[in-house]
Amino acid sequence: MSPRRRAPLTRERVLAAALELAHEGGFESLSMRKVAAAVGVEAMSLYNHVANKEDLLDGLVDVVFGEFEAPEPGDPDWKGAMRRRAHSMRAVLNRHRWAVGLMESRVAPGPENLRFHDATMGCLRLAGFAFRDAVHASSVQDAYIYGFLLQERSLPFDTPSEHGAVIEVKRANVPDMTRFPHLVEVMTEMAKAGYDYDTEFAFGLDLILAGLEP
Amino acid sequence: MSPRRRAPLTRERVLAAALELAHEGGFESLSMRKVAAAVGVEAMSLYNHVANKEDLLDGLVDVVFGEFEAPEPGDPDWKGAMRRRAHSMRAVLNRHRWAVGLMESRVAPGPENLRFHDATMGCLRLAGFAFRDAVHASSVQDAYIYGFLLQERSLPFDTPSEHGAVIEVKRANVPDMTRFPHLVEVMTEMAKAGYDYDTEFAFGLDLILAGLEP
DNA sequence: ACCTGAACACCGTTCAAGT
DNA sequence: ACCTGAACACCGTTCAAGT
């Protein structure tokens, strides 16, 4: 009769609660006990819906895969499709910063993961890529995307001008910067002009897409 | 008089012990208490040489940066220098699989980190890259390298033929693979021909280097 | 200055017991 | 079938006390 009775615990509800905790409390503070509390239950009850914490993480990662915009196999503008795919991945992973670094390291790929990779391969194959080349093409793109997000993730600022300020702090903390003249150059330039992740990301993505042809 | 007396605890010895533990016991099993035990001391003594666990990780990451082969600023063959740099990074990070994903997410860059990035920027600047282009160039390369290692890290096999076997297992575990025809194609092809990380890595690296010019 | 014992506030997971 | 209480074997870190 109470609302809690009407909505019995499911894997989906456990994952949703964990996702929200990761989102607001920070990923590292995500514990079985806290997920359980968020869902109104004792920690041990979670084990009825999830094999263990590792399985819970697998589930979370697959939720994130589900948010990626999959490319359309057969899209005549395959480069456009790949570009949209990449930008969608970046947007989603910036929303779930904790997920970068987990995405490609899960051992058991979930259904959304499979769906997404299938669509990517399909789009490349139908665009005329030979099998091996399609593997190469998706591999280099994904490596770039995940690696870029890895760099972007750690940064405690959002706008170019904030970046300038952070750079200044960092510079002040390092003794004897004269040993690193080229780094000094980067930092002073950055502090002046800021750093724009959008154009930086687009630069590398375009470079890679320019080098790919069926 | 005992050997323990002759070698008092230092930050370096703490880091060395932690590195060894990460290497053999697996990174996730690395705890302050175990590092302390490995160095013959109680856990709390570590805090005299390391601010906290986060600081210990910063230290470990910088040890790894120290193993990277830095490019030579002024090297006339800058593409060769970048290629050697990339392959050295891959070799080191395959030796320290736990480090991938931590490298670019540390907030406080250590001296080896600074040294390495300074050498990279220096090599590109002296090769004729304008400042902004040097930043672009190093950014796209590093994103690719770290991202590739992220993908490579998780894999529980070393040779292409082992890979085939693993693929078969995975395939058997996924129900209704007919929903993912292109993935089925990848898996059957992979199971046949195997997957060679060396050539895969070289493909993407060459593609990126081909697109970079001062 | 460096090390320690005891304690605090946590973890993931197992297991027998409840309903 | 699902949930729970108590317990086990751990964590990182603080703090007062030792030398």
Cα three-residue angle A69-A74-A77, rounded to 5 degrees = 75
- Are A79 and A172 within one domain? no
CB B67 within 8 A of CB B50: no
Q: Which residues of chain A does B122 touch, with a Cβ-Cβ cutoff of 8 Å?
A: 181-182
* DSSP letter for each residue of A60-102: HHHHHHHHS----TT-S-HHHHHHHHHHHHHHHHHHTGGGTTT
- Identify which of B104, B32, B138, B107 has the alpha carbon closest to the alpha carbon of residue A183: B138
Using CB atoms within 10 Å of the CB of residue A108, give its burial: 0 to 12 exposed, 13 to 18 middle, 19+ buried. Answer: middle
Cβ-proximal residues to A119 (8 Å cutoff; 6+ apart), any chain: A70, A71, A72, A73, B182
* Per-residue confidence (pLDDT) for residue A190, from 0 to 100: 82
- Measured CA A173 to C1' D6 distance, in angstroms: 50
**B153: confidence class by pLDDT, cuts 50, 70, 90:** confident
The reply to whether B5 falls in a domain is: no
CB A194 within 8 A of CB A164: yes
In the structure encoding, which two tokens stand for residue B83, read together?
A: 């290629």
Report the residue of chain A nearest B117, measured CA to CA: A183
- Are A111 and A205 within one domain? yes
Report the residue of chain A nearest B151, measured CA to CA: A104
- Are A94 and A69 within one domain? yes
- Are A110 and A172 within one domain? no
The reply to whether A6 falls in a domain is: no
**B34: confidence class by pLDDT, cuts 50, 70, 90:** very high
Report the residue of chain B nearest A176, measured CA to CA: B111
Show which positions of strand D are touched by protein (CB under 7 A): 2-6, 10-16
Q: Give the number of other Cβ atoms within 10 Å of residue A77's Cβ.
A: 11
* Per-residue confidence (pLDDT) for residue A120, from 0 to 100: 98
- Are A99 and A203 within one domain? yes
Lowest mean pLDDT among A146-155, B4-13, B139-148: B4-13
| Average model confidence (pLDDT) across chain B | 89
Instruction: Say yes or no to pLDDT of B158 above 70.
Output: no
- Are B127 and B32 within one domain? no
Cβ-proximal residues to A95 (8 Å cutoff; 6+ apart), any chain: A67
- Are B182 and B91 within one domain? no
Structural domain range at position B37: 11-50
- Measured CA B45 to C1' D16 distance, in angstroms: 15
- Are A121 and A22 within one domain? no
Please judge whether B154 and A207 are an interchain contact, meaning their C-beta atoms are less than 8 angstroms apart: no
* Per-residue confidence (pLDDT) for residue A135, from 0 to 100: 95
Please identify residues in chain A, positions 134-163, with a C-beta within 7 angstroms of any atom of strand C: none
- Are B143 and B166 within one domain? no
Torsion of CA B57, B58, B59, B62, to 10 degrees: 120
- Measured CA B155 to C1' C6 distance, in angstroms: 43
CATH for A146: 1.10.357.10
The reply to whether A46 falls in a domain is: yes
Lowest mean pLDDT among A90-104, A127-141, B162-176, B188-202: B162-176
The reply to whether B28 falls in a domain is: yes
Please judge whether A107 and B186 are an interchain contact, meaning their C-beta atoms are less than 8 angstroms apart: no
**B164: confidence class by pLDDT, cuts 50, 70, 90:** low
- Are A126 and A116 within one domain? yes
The reply to whether B6 falls in a domain is: no
* Per-residue confidence (pLDDT) for residue A177, from 0 to 100: 81
Closest CB to B185: pick one of A131, A170, A200: A131
- Are A118 and A67 within one domain? yes
Using CB atoms within 10 Å of the CB of residue A128, give its burial: 0 to 12 exposed, 13 to 18 middle, 19+ buried. Answer: exposed
Residue B176 CB in 7 A reach of strand C: no
In the structure encoding, which two tokens stand for residue A141, read together?
A: 């793109």
- Are B188 and B206 within one domain? no
The reply to whether B2 falls in a domain is: no
**B5: confidence class by pLDDT, cuts 50, 70, 90:** very low
* Per-residue confidence (pLDDT) for residue A101, from 0 to 100: 87
One digit per residue, the tens of pLDDT, for chain A of length 214 reads: 333 344 689 999 999 999 999 999 889 889 999 999 999 999 999 999 999 999 999 999 999 999 999 999 999 999 999 999 999 999 999 999 999 989 987 878 899 999 999 999 999 999 999 999 999 999 999 999 999 999 998 765 555 555 655 555 555 556 678 899 999 998 888 888 878 899 999 999 999 999 999 9
Cβ-proximal residues to B60 (8 Å cutoff; 6+ apart), any chain: B15, B18, B19, B22, B99, B102
Between residues A158 and B64, the one the model is more confident about = B64
Q: Which residues of chain B does A132 touch, with a Cβ-Cβ cutoff of 8 Å?
A: 189
- Measured CA B9 to C1' D16 distance, in angstroms: 23
In the structure encoding, which two tokens stand for residue A189, read together?
A: 């330039």
Instruction: Say yes or no to pLDDT of B3 above 50.
Output: no
Q: How far is A151 from chain B (nearest CA, A)?
A: 5
* Per-residue confidence (pLDDT) for residue A87, from 0 to 100: 98
The reply to whether A184 falls in a domain is: yes
* Per-residue confidence (pLDDT) for residue B190, from 0 to 100: 82
Please give the protein residue whose CA is closest to the C1' of the nucleotide D3: A45
Please state the domain count of chain A. 3
Please judge whether A125 and B150 are an interchain contact, meaning their C-beta atoms are less than 8 angstroms apart: no
The reply to whether A57 falls in a domain is: no
Q: Nearest nucleotide, C1' to the C-alpha of A39?
A: D3
**B154: confidence class by pLDDT, cuts 50, 70, 90:** confident
* Per-residue confidence (pLDDT) for residue A6, from 0 to 100: 40
Lowest mean pLDDT among A119-123, A168-172, B66-70, B201-205: A168-172
**B197: confidence class by pLDDT, cuts 50, 70, 90:** very high
CATH for B39: 1.10.10
